[in-house]
């Protein structure tokens, strides 16, 4: 039997982009008891709903992947809601888990928690070296509080909670809504639609100079399950590829894969976000053997093909 075969698992956000891949991998590894709380049934911002979830699911392990999240525009428009909702979900899920004697709590934080000006590559020791980039600081800090809580609960109660810090994810099934999506799905959608409409240019936010690191969703799911099975430590762990690319180069790569031949125009009146993002991923490799497998170009190609095949049926996402 696998590690997962007799475990009762709650996957918050299990119907979402990352969560659905995690659930599929859990099932592939023999997990037969997976509880996926839907927001219409369990509003995890409310303590009553969190308590009811633990009553109903009786989990051994909670994988907390749910988040109120979006790109720069969504973060600016929803700063208060992103802070409160993410803070309350994480805090209450961990607290009730502690009260119920939960075997393990696995929390997914965010690279947005790192200081705006962090030496590259980002090392876990630098998480507290400054304030996050302003456009997504409320979201990043709310998620980082799970690390404070996990370490405090381990110290006082012996509660086994681990916190992972992934880079931006992408892949088939991502959120392609122009108001709330992250950079890769936004760029893919703009280029695909511009090509379809034969538009001569695509306007993109900022000046293209910032760098980012991206992790394919299947790799992220694999890392989460490896950490859940093998890591029981106090320290935060970065999850990524360790490779960065500028937004400008990324845009040209996506346009090339789409086959869009028009001009890419940069709107420098829009914010750039954090100047650079790239992780030191050595801790994940050392502690539980994780290394990313998918190359960026291949992952982008797969994601673009999925969007092209499904874009007519995609719904917009609103907060």
Q: Determine the Cα–Cα distance for residues 214 and 295; give it in Å rounded to an integer.
A: 10
pTM for this prediction: 0.93
The pLDDT assigned to 198 comes to: 94
The pLDDT assigned to 316 comes to: 54
The pLDDT assigned to 221 comes to: 98
The pLDDT assigned to 195 comes to: 94
pLDDT per position as a tens digit, 172-210: 999 998 877 889 999 999 999 999 999 999 999 899 999
The pLDDT assigned to 301 comes to: 97
By DSSP bridging, strand 245-246 and strand 211-212 are antiparallel
136 or 293, which is more confident: 293
Q: Determine the Cα–Cα distance for residues 304 and 258; give it in Å rounded to an integer.
A: 7
- H helix or E strand, kind and range, residue 121: none
The pLDDT assigned to 181 comes to: 80
- The pLDDT of residue 143 is above 90: yes
The pLDDT assigned to 1 comes to: 66
Own/partner pairs for 223-226, CB < 8 Å, 24+ apart? 223/164, 223/166, 223/284, 223/290, 223/292, 224/22, 224/63, 224/65, 224/106, 224/108, 224/164, 225/4, 225/22, 225/25, 225/26, 225/29, 226/288, 226/289, 226/290
Q: Is 54 a catalytic residue?
A: no
Alpha helices in 100-165 (DSSP H): 137-157
Average pLDDT over every residue of 68-75: 79
- The pLDDT of residue 236 is above 50: yes
- The pLDDT of residue 317 is above 70: no
The pLDDT assigned to 319 comes to: 36
Q: At what angle do helices 17-28 and 217-230 cross, to 10 degrees?
A: 60
SS3 state at 45: coil
The pLDDT assigned to 315 comes to: 62
pLDDT per position as a tens digit, 94-111: 999 999 999 999 999 999
Average pLDDT over every residue of 211-230: 97
Q: At what angle do helices 183-197 and 296-310 cross, to 10 degrees?
A: 50
The pLDDT assigned to 140 comes to: 95
SS3 state at 279: strand
The pLDDT assigned to 64 comes to: 98
Confidence tier at 318 by pLDDT (50, 70, 90): very low
The pLDDT assigned to 127 comes to: 97
Q: Determine the Cα–Cα distance for residues 261 and 199; give it in Å rounded to an integer.
A: 10
Average pLDDT over every residue of 208-217: 95
Confirm if 183 and 128 have CB atoms less than 8 A apart. no
Q: Report the share of the chain in percent with pLDDT over 90.
A: 87
Catalytic residue among 42, 84, 117, 139: 139
The pLDDT assigned to 2 comes to: 87
The pLDDT assigned to 226 comes to: 98
pLDDT per position as a tens digit, 42-71: 999 999 999 999 999 999 999 999 998 777
Confidence tier at 135 by pLDDT (50, 70, 90): confident
CATH 3.40.50.720 assigned to domain 8-174+213-243+276-294? The reply is yes
Q: How far is CA 9 from CA 61, 84, 141, 215, 232, in A?
A: 5, 25, 27, 24, 17
Confidence tier at 74 by pLDDT (50, 70, 90): confident
The pLDDT assigned to 4 comes to: 97
Q: Determine the Cα–Cα distance for residues 49 and 102; give it in Å rounded to an integer.
A: 17
What b/e readout covers 189-219, taking b as 16+ CB neighbours within 10 angstroms? bbbbebbeeeeeebebbbebebbbbbbbbbb
pLDDT per position as a tens digit, 155-168: 999 999 999 999 99
């Amino acid at each position: 039997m696998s590690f997962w075969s007799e475990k009762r698992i709650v996957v918050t956000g299990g119907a979402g982009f990352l969560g659905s891949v995690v659930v599929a991998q859990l099932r592939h590894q023999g997990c037969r008891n997976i509880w996926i709380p839907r927001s219409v049934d369990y509003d995890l911002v409310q303590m009553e709903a969190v308590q009811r979830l633990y009553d109903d699911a009786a989990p051994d392990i909670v994988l907390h992947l749910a988040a109120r999240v979006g790109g720069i525009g969504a973060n600016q428009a929803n700063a208060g809601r992103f802070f409160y909702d993410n803070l309350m979900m994480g805090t209450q899920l961990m607290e009730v888990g502690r009260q119920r004697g939960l075997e393990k709590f696995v929390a997914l934080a965010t690279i947005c928690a790192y200081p705006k000006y962090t030496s590259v590559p980002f090392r876990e020791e630098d998480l507290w070296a400054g304030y996050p980039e302003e456009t997504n600081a409320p979201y990043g800090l709310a998620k980082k509080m799970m690390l404070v809580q996990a370490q405090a609960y381990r110290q006082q109660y012996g509660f086994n909670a681990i916190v992972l810090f992934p880079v931006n994810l992408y892949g088939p099934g991502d959120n392609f809504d122009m108001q709330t999506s992250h950079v890769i799905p936004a760029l893919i959608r703009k280029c695909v639609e511009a090509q379809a409409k034969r538009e001569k240019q695509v306007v993109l936010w900022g000046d293209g100079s910032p760098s980012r690191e991206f992790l394919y969703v299947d790799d992220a799911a694999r890392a989460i399950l490896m950490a859940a099975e093998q890591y029981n430590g106090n320290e935060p762990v970065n999850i990524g590829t360790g490779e960065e690319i500028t937004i400008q180069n990324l845009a040209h790569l996506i346009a090339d894969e789409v086959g869009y031949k028009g001009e890419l125009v940069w709107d420098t009146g829009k914010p750039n976000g954090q100047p650079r993002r790239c992780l030191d991923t050595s801790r994940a490799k050392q502690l539980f053997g994780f290394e990313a497998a998918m190359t960026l170009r291949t992952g982008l190609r797969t994601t673009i093909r999925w969007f092209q095949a499904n874009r007519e049926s995609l719904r917009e996402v609103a907060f």
